[in-house]
Amino acid sequence: MEQHLFVLVDLLGTFAFAVSGALAAEQKRLDLFGVAAISLLTACGGGVIRDLCLGALPPVGISDWRYLATSMAAAACAIWARRLIAHLEQPILFFDALGLGFFAVTGALKALLLQQNVEVAILLGLVTAVGGGVMRDVMLTRVPVILQKEIYALAALLGAAIQVLGHYLEWRVALTPWFAASVCVALRLLALRYSWSLPVVQGRDRADR
């Protein structure tokens, strides 16, 4: 059962990140194939790093057709439903936030299912959630999401931590992922909406290389 649940949440994250990747690629005026490629990279990049670190090879993102199909469907949606999506205020960031939540959970969950320790589970949750978006931004020479001032990586960490906590406290297996992902997505969206940010370390005055 856990396996099915895992795949479902992982595909939801794949869909959300694929949309954000496709939108970002469109904005940079890439051609149709470029949009599909960046969409796939954004959707599967985080999961590939997770699977490499866990030794779960080949990574599901490149070996399981459902991930490829989900990415391509998401890219097609992003292109065809552009009018609808345009009603969102910042569509890329919105779908990025959704993916962040789902992948924080699946990164942690897969590590736990493979008997890894708490630290691996939480850090892989963070890395899986953040990885795809960072690759998208590096490839498209956009300012990386992690440099933006609203709470981002902390939301992913929180989502992963809740999933791990639920696992050890034996919360209901079928509900924990949804709860953890919701907290992460809600925190990120609220941070964007109300410009929540953590304190900034006061910068030095001197220029420094």
Using CB under 8 A as the criterion, which residues of the chain lie in contact with its own copies when the complex forms?
23, 26-35, 37-38, 48, 52-55, 57-59, 62-65, 68, 79, 82, 86, 90-93, 111, 116-117, 119-120, 123-124, 126-127, 134, 138-141, 143-144, 146-147, 149, 151-154, 157, 197-201, 203-204, 206, 208-209
In the complex with its own copies, which residue's Cβ is closer, 173 or 198? 198
10 Å CB burial of residue 164 (0-12, 13-18, 19+) is buried
What is the C-alpha to C-alpha distance for residues 110 and 154, in angstroms, rounded to an integer? 20
CB of 146 to its own copies, least distance (A): 6
In the complex with its own copies, which residue's Cβ is closer, 4 or 83? 83
Q: Is the dihedral of CA 125, 128, 130, 131 positive or negative?
A: positive
The token duo for 205 is: 């005055």
CB of 87 to its own copies, least distance (A): 11
CB of 28 to its own copies, least distance (A): 6
Nearest alpha-carbon partner for 159 in 123, 134, 131? 123
In the complex with its own copies, which residue's Cβ is closer, 12 or 120? 120
First to last CA, the chain: 52
**DSSP type of residue 207:** -
In the complex with its own copies, which residue's Cβ is closer, 4 or 87? 87
